[in-house]
């Protein structure tokens, strides 16, 4: 039937079914005066059914007593089954038996002859409104039913007693049970799940669904009450979905990240060993600088990931020394200006070696800047404090402390007190004051040992 929402009578097309020609003509004139359109006139039940199929009227105004084998009640019943078209009975028969039989046909109104035009209009308008509302409701129900059936998540709905009244195909598949065996059963009998933790901001609960046959399926589930207009519970809806594939993908991703971190750690260790093989006199220097720098980063309150970046940069901060000839590294006396220039290049060389490695931290830049100083007197870029990373300033202090506590071919180790005096005298001028203060507390108050 056409789905019209018009509130004007001119939009309504009426099929008149009346076997008395005079009455049919009178009804036609009345409908026309009221602004309706007469779609056609039939004088038998058989013809009425045929015309409804051909003309698709908005309303059928039908007498009960008709010519032919099929009376109005039979015709109305068939029309309702085939076309769901609304029928208003127009008859002179108002006895209880006739009314009972007519009511079984599901009419939208009942008008007793003779009648006034206002009675006719009222009956038709009420019937048309009821028909429009029912079509809207039926359309909404169809859309909802199709949506629920196509939903990829399992859905169970119960009534107020807790018995299942609806199961969508996805729920049948996940549970491994046909809907016919689920509907009418208590929810707890067909949906057995061990709940876990809520899944973050979504509020969905992790659970393990125990299916027939001993099959357990990890799911996400949401249980919500269905409330009436007064806030009373009239049922419950449970939505759930299989998350097995997602959990496997997440585990695979975690394993992949762990493997990548392991490969990165081994790569860093290999670089550390490579650089220290070139200078056996400083063996262990990078590890000790890395340990101290990481301790300073933690004490300064840097995030865990940033502290890890400082630790890794410390392990490779002298990788550029593979560029320095071995005889310069092992020279047992002070270096001349040319040799010192070659040594000073190691920060930039280290940067060039590391800049293409996709570290999750600015390791190459930290290596480049670890010999810069607050006043711009460092190398290789003579950068001031504002241009140098905090992580680089941490490495600078750790490097000075460790270097002054280790022997070199050309000198004995000045020792702990001398190294602490060095950073104390250069506080704010050469070295970051916060890093210096942190380092002093670490050694003097907490007894840190290299």
- Give percent of the chain with pLDDT exceeding 90: 54
Q: Are residues 302 and 429 in the same domain?
A: yes
pLDDT given at position 160 = 92
Residue 378 resides in a domain: yes
E-state strands within 212-286: 215-227, 233-242
Indicate the pTM of the whole model.
0.53
| Final residue of a structural domain among 125, 148, 171 | 148
Q: Which pLDDT score is estimated for 146?
A: 80
Question: Residue 450: inside a domain, yes or no?
Answer: no
pLDDT in tens, 58-93: 999 999 988 888 999 999 999 999 998 899 998 887
- pLDDT tens string 146-198: 877 777 889 999 999 999 999 999 999 899 999 999 999 999 999 999 887 76
278 and 405 share one domain: yes
Does residue 423 lie in a domain region?
yes
On whether residue 19 sits in a domain, the answer given is yes
Query: Do 53 and 131 fall within a single domain?
Result: yes
Residue 281 has a pLDDT of: 63
Which of 100, 121, 148 terminates a domain? The answer is 148
Contacts of 335 (CB under 8 A, 6+ apart): 328, 343, 410
Confidence grade of residue 48 (pLDDT, cut at 50, 70, 90) = very high
Q: Say if residue 406's pLDDT is above 90.
A: no
Is residue 83 located within the same domain as residue 191? Answer: no
Domain assignment of residue 317, given as a range: 267-444
CATH number of the domain bearing residue 179: 3.30.450.20
Nearest alpha carbon to residue 391 among 276, 305, 285: 305
Say if residue 135 is in the same domain as residue 170.
Answer: no
Q: Do 140 and 232 share a structural domain?
A: no
Q: Which CATH number fits the domain that encloses residue 30?
A: 3.40.50.2300
* pLDDT value of residue 16: 95
Residue 5 predicted with pLDDT over 50:
no
Per-residue pLDDT reduced to its tens digit, 420-434: 999 999 999 999 999
**Is the residue at 260 inside a domain?**
no
Looking at the domain assignment, is residue 449 inside a domain? no
For the chain, what is the domain count?
3
**If DSSP states are collapsed to H, E and C, what string results for 275-293?**
HHHCCHHHCCHHHHHHHHH
Average pLDDT of the chain, as a whole number: 88
- What are the structure tokens assigned to 178, written together? 């046909």
281 domain-assigned: yes
**Does one domain contain both 384 and 397?**
yes
Residue whose entry in the numeric block shows the structure tokens 């939009």: 11
What would the two tokens of residue 235 be?
């049922």
Joined together, the tokens standing for residue 88 give 């208003």
Same-domain status, 432 and 292: yes
Same structural domain for residues 169 and 49?
no
CA distance 294 to 288: 10
Please tell me the total number of residues recorded for the chain in this structure: 450
179 and 300 housed in the same domain: no
Q: Which of 2-6, 201-205, 302-306, 394-398 has the lowest mean pLDDT?
A: 2-6
Residue 230 scores a pLDDT above 60: yes
Q: Is residue 3 part of a domain?
A: no
* pLDDT higher than threshold 60 for residue 7: no
Contact predicate 404/397, CB 8 Å: no
The answer on 214 and 142 residing in a single domain is no
């Amino acid at each position: 039937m056409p789905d019209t929402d018009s509130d004007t009578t001119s939009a309504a097309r009426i099929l008149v079914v009346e076997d008395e020609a005079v009455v049919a003509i009178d009804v036609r004139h009345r409908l026309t005066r009221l602004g309706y359109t007469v779609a056609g006139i039939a004088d038998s039940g058989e013809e009425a059914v045929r015309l409804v199929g051909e003309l698709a009227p908005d309303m059928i105004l039908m007498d009960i007593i008709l010519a032919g084998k099929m009376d109005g009640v039979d015709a109305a019943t068939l029309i309702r089954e085939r076309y769901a078209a609304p029928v208003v009975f127009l008859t002179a028969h108002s006895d209880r038996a006739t009314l009972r039989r007519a009511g079984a046909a599901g009419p939208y109104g009942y008008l007793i002859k003779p009648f006034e035009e206002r009675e006719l209009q009222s009956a038709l308008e009420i019937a048309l409104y009821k028909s429009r509302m029912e079509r809207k409701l039926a359309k909404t129900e169809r859309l909802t039913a199709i949506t629920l059936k196509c939903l990829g998540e399992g859905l169970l709905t119960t009534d107020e007693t807790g018995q299942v009244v609806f199961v969508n195909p996805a729920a049948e598949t996940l549970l491994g049970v046909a809907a016919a065996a689920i509907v009418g059963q208590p929810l707890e009998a067909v949906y057995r799940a061990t709940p876990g933790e809520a899944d973050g901001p979504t509020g969905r609960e992790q659970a393990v669904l125990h299916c027939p046959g001993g099959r357990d399926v990890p799911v996400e589930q949401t249980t919500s009450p269905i409330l009436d207009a007064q806030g009373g519970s009239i049922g419950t809806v449970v939505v759930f979905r299989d998350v097995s594939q997602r959990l496997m993908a997440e585990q695979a991703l975690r394993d992949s990240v762990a493997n990548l971190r392991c490969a990165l750690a081994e790569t860093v260790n290999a670089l550390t060993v490579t650089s220290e093989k070139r200078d056996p006199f400083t063996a262990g220097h990078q590890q000790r600088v890395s340990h101290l720098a990481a301790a300073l980063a933690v004490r300064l309150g840097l995030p865990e990931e940033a502290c890890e970046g400082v630790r890794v940069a410390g392990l490779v901060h002298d990788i550029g020394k593979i560029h320095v000839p071995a005889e310069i590294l092992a020279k047992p006396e002070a270096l001349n200006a040319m040799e010192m220039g070659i040594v000073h290049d190691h920060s930039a060389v280290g940067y060039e070696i590391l800049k293409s490695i996709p570290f999750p931290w600015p390791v190459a830049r930290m290596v480049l800047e670890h010999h810069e100083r607050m006043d711009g007197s460092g190398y290789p870029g003579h950068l001031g404090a504002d241009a140098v990373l905090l992580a680089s300033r941490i490495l600078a202090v750790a490097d000075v402390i460790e270097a002054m506590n280790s022997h070199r071919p050309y000198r004995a180790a000045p020792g702990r007190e001398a190294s602490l005096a060095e950073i104390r005298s250069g506080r704010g001028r050469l070295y970051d004051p916060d890093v210096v203060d942190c380092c002093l507390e670490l050694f003097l108050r907490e007894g840190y040992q290299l």
